[in-house]
Amino acid sequence: DAGVIQSPRHEVTEMGQEVTLRCKPISGHNSLFWYRQTMMRGLELLIYFNNNVPIDDSGMPEDRFSAKMPNASFSTLKIQPSEPRDSAVYFCASSFALGAGNTEAFFGQGTRLTVV
Amino acid sequence: AQTVTQSQPEMSVQEAETVTLSCTYDTSESNYYLFWYKQPPSRQMILVIRQEAYKQQNATENRFSVNFQKAAKSFSLKISDSQLGDTAMYFCAFLITGNQFYFGTGTSLTVIP
């Protein structure tokens, strides 16, 4: 398996524009996580899905952020409108359910978002 | 509430020496996994070591080992014979039922030649 695949790797956009980050989890994994990493706040969980259903989105900072998982092999994180303070590295991770043997979170390479 | 605390934002160690990174956590769950992840400058998150909470024996992976104290909710990482390639940010994390991963704020480790 190629691992968790995120696109794009880098995104530079102007304030006010819509940004869509994409993630393809590892095949067979039933949990998917979106994290945001900044120097100030470290690694923050934004939202996670189990079996394509959003379970906890309490980490989503504002209504400008939304996430979807239309099927088991694809998820998006959208920011509309984007603001400079959204600049960060966004990670997607996937895993098997707890108790399913070698459970761990597999991370993608991250998307570095810069909003100017 | 579930929390993970890494009280050492930065640490350094001489090459070939041993260093211990501390981590404490808080959960009311009885079944969970604990992890240490490494994030080198490439920013890729890499699993270093994993511990099942129901196992009393401390996990080891080559030069990496943990000291798991369940009653104290402590999960420290020991790196023996430190190498330059160990320079990275290290995150402590745990997973509970419902598949929720909680991460600490990280410890930046520098190995000095």
pLDDT in tens, A12-59: 999 999 999 999 999 989 889 999 999 888 888 999 998 999 988 988
Q: Which of B8, B21, B12 is nearest to B111 (CA)?
A: B12
Q: Let me know: does B74 contact B22? Beta carbons within 8 Å.
A: yes
A104 falls in which pLDDT band (50, 70, 90)?
Answer: confident
Question: Is the Cβ pair A89, B43 closer than 8 Å?
Answer: yes
**Residue from A23, A89, A98, A113 whose CB has the most chain B CBs within 10 Å, to mutate:** A98
Q: Using DSSP bridges, classify how beta strands A42-50 and A53-56 pair: parallel, antiparallel or unpaired.
A: antiparallel
Question: Is the Cβ pair A42, B105 closer than 8 Å?
Answer: yes
Q: What is the pLDDT of residue B96?
A: 79
Which residue of A91, A97, A107 is in closest CB contact with B99? A97
Q: What is the pLDDT of residue A96?
A: 81
CA-to-CA distance for B61 and B70, rounded, in angstroms?
20
Q: Let me know: does B35 contact B66? Beta carbons within 8 Å.
A: no
Q: pLDDT digits over B61-111, tens only?
A: 999 999 999 999 999 999 999 999 999 999 999 887 666 788 899 999 999
Which residue of A43, A95, A110 is in closest CB contact with B99? A95
CB atoms within 10 A of CB A9: 10
